[in-house]
C-alpha cells in the first residue's frame, strides 16, 4: 500500500526516513553523506514523486520504491 508522504506528520516522517536511510545495505554512492543529507535527498525525491513510501501489511514495515518499479497494483 502506498502511503502519501504528505499524510504523515512531519516528525513521524522525519523519524521514518532516518530509519530507512540508516538501514543496513542502503547505498548512496562513493561519497559519504550524513544522515541529514540522506534524509534531505529522499525528501526531495518524494516531493518530485520519483519515489514513494510503501507499507507492507505482511511484514509490517515501510520501505521506499522508485516510480518506475511500481507495479500496476500500486495505485
Residue 9 lies in a domain: yes
pLDDT digits (tens, 9 = 90+) for 1-10: 999 999 999 9
Domain of 17, CATH number, reads 1.10.10.610
Tens digit of each residue's pLDDT (9 = 90 or more) over 12-61: 999 999 999 998 665 656 778 889 999 999 999 999 999 999 999 999 99
Strands (E), 1-75: 2-3, 51-56, 61-66
In a domain, 75, yes or no: no
Residues counted in the chain = 75
Is 51 a domain residue? yes
Which phi and psi (to 5°) does residue 37 adopt? Answer: -65, -40
The answer to the question of residue 36 being in a domain is: yes
Amino acid at each position: 500500500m502506498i502511503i502519501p508522504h504528505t499524510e504523515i506528520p512531519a516528525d513521524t516522517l522525519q523519524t521514518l526516513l532516518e530509519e530507512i536511510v540508516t538501514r543496513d545495505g542502503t547505498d548512496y554512492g562513493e561519497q559519504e553523506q550524513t544522515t541529514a543529507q540522506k534524509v534531505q535527498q529522499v525528501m526531495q525525491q518524494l516531493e518530485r514523486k520519483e519515489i514513494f513510501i510503501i507499507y507492507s501489511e505482511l511484514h509490517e514495515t515501510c520501505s521506499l520504491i522508485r516510480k518506475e518499479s511500481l507495479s500496476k497494483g500500486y495505485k
